[in-house]
Amino acid sequence: MAVRVAARRRAGPAGGIDLPLLAVVLALLVLGIDMVYSASFVLAHNSTLYDSDSYFMVRQVMFAVIGAVAMLLVARSDYHVMQRYSVLLLAVSVVMLFAVLVPGIGHVEYGAQRWLKLGPLPPIQPSELAKLAVVVYFADWLSRKGENVRDLTYGSLPFAIILVVIVALVMLQPDLGTSTVIVASAVAVFFVGGAHLAHFSGGLALGGAALAMLIRVSGYRWSRFIAFLNPQDDPTGAGWHTIQTSIALGSGGLFGLGLGESRQKFYWVPGAHTDAIYSIIGEELGFIGCLAVLALFGVLAQRGFSIARRAPDQFGALLAVGSTCLLVFQAAINIGVVAAVLPFTGITLPFISSGGSSLVVSMVAVGCLLSVSRQASAPAAAR
């Protein structure tokens, strides 16, 4: 196996840029720019903080361009470069996560201290970088461990300790949604990397218990959980978000009210252009529009896991799995919250929601997939 991998590396790229994956990402970006404008122009028009109705759309285009450049740079490079700098990338993200908690350095919005404000530059959200750093680091770490991954002392315990430190820093902001994505993506990489099934199952049980405790001991999280079970008990408080997004989704019917025709974006749905943008898609583009978004993320998942299966080495496979899970799990949580399938937690819809750090990191994750695809072997049918 090692000989075959080495031979493949010497032979150079066997595949090429995954065009279906690129097309899916482009479609999501275009939809996102349209929907950000539609969902945000009311807020931008009525507030003195913004100088144009298209303020949020212009920002989305700007970050999409930055993300596209970053994606292409990563895609055109050898993904093993990221492997060499995986420890440095994780260390930088940890330092940034510490920095965001320091008064005067961390920037507070919506009652959470999750951003770094560096002069005139837009705020940076370190937890977004941490998501990608964790995937890259564990892909490298697990690929070097070999059979030691299954050992409790050299595999499962170090994995759990590193993950807990990262998640604890994110939870101090606090940010349960991003923490969940980090844990889910890291656990997926660990499982594919050869985790011991008994250790893995025990870790899942402990993680579930920890999540339940975090929800129960936090007043606002517990109120959101209760509101999720019965939002009508507190329709103007904790249940407001669930009720209003449900109204938006239900109002769209099969084909929607039409692009730009949403009524719920007029201050009824909180975060209409960010966390709740999927509800505006449902209202304006209907069930068909929502189904199209699900289909696009489904294709993204299929292409990502296909790239992972054809990766020339274990690091490439784990990097592809982690990058795919990073995007798909986050989309699933966002859509689940909007559809009232999951309790409310604030998290963006990749490529579509307004947000600079999230969009750029999502594009870099796609760049990782494209980089692996360039060196992936041809499908079995083609061979």
Q: Which amino acid is at 222?
A: W
Which pTM value belongs to this model? Answer: 0.90
C-alpha to C-alpha distance for 383 and 377, rounded to whole angstroms: 9
- pLDDT at position 378: 55
- Give the start-to-end residue ranges of the domains of the chain: 20-375
SS (H, E, C) the chain: CHHHHHHHHHHCCCCCCCHHHHHHHHHHHHHHHHHHHHHHHHHHHHCCCCCCCCHHHHHHHHHHHHHHHHHHHHHHCCCHHHHHCHHHHHHHHHHHHHHCCCCCCEEEECCEEEEECCCCCCCECHHHHHHHHHHHHHHHHHHHHHHHHHCHHHHHHHHHHHHHHHHHHHHCCCCHHHHHHHHHHHHHHHHHCCCCHHHHHHHHHHHHHHHHHHHHHCHHHHHHHHHHHCHHHCCCCCCHHHHHHHHHHHHHCCCCCCCCCCCCCCCCCCCCCCCCHHHHHHHHHHHHHHHHHHHHHHHHHHHHHHHHHCCCCHHHHHHHHHHHHHHHHHHHHHHHHHCCCCCCCCCCCCCCCCCHHHHHHHHHHHHHHHHHHHHCCCCCCCC
**What is residue 195's predicted lDDT score, i.e. its pLDDT?**
86
What per-residue confidence (pLDDT) applies to 222?
85
Exposure string for 99-116, b = 16+ CB within 10 A, e = fewer? ebeeeeebbeeeeebbbb
Quick one: pLDDT at residue 10?
Answer: 37
Angle between helices 314-338 and 277-309 (to 10 degrees): 160
Q: Contact at 8 Å (CB) between 131 and 182?
A: yes
Residue-level pLDDT, tens digit, the chain, 383 residues = 333 343 344 334 455 789 999 999 999 999 999 999 999 989 988 887 887 889 999 999 999 999 999 999 999 999 999 999 999 999 999 999 999 988 878 877 766 788 887 777 778 889 999 999 999 999 999 998 888 888 888 888 999 999 999 999 999 888 888 999 999 999 999 999 988 888 888 888 988 898 888 888 877 788 888 888 888 888 888 889 899 999 999 999 999 999 989 999 998 999 899 999 999 999 999 999 999 999 999 999 999 999 999 999 999 999 999 999 999 999 999 999 999 898 888 899 999 999 889 999 999 999 999 999 998 765 544 43
Q: Long-range contacts of range 334-337, CB-CB < 8 Å, 24 or more positions apart?
A: 334/275, 334/278, 335/278, 335/293, 335/294, 337/275
Two tokens at 189? Answer: 């990489």
pLDDT of residue 117: 79
What's the pLDDT score for residue 154? Answer: 84
Residue 15's pLDDT is: 59
Closest CA to 159 of 124, 123, 196, 211: 196
Cβ 335 vs Cβ 292: under 8 Å = no
Instruction: Report pLDDT digits (tens) over 123-149.
Output: 888 999 999 999 999 999 999 888 888
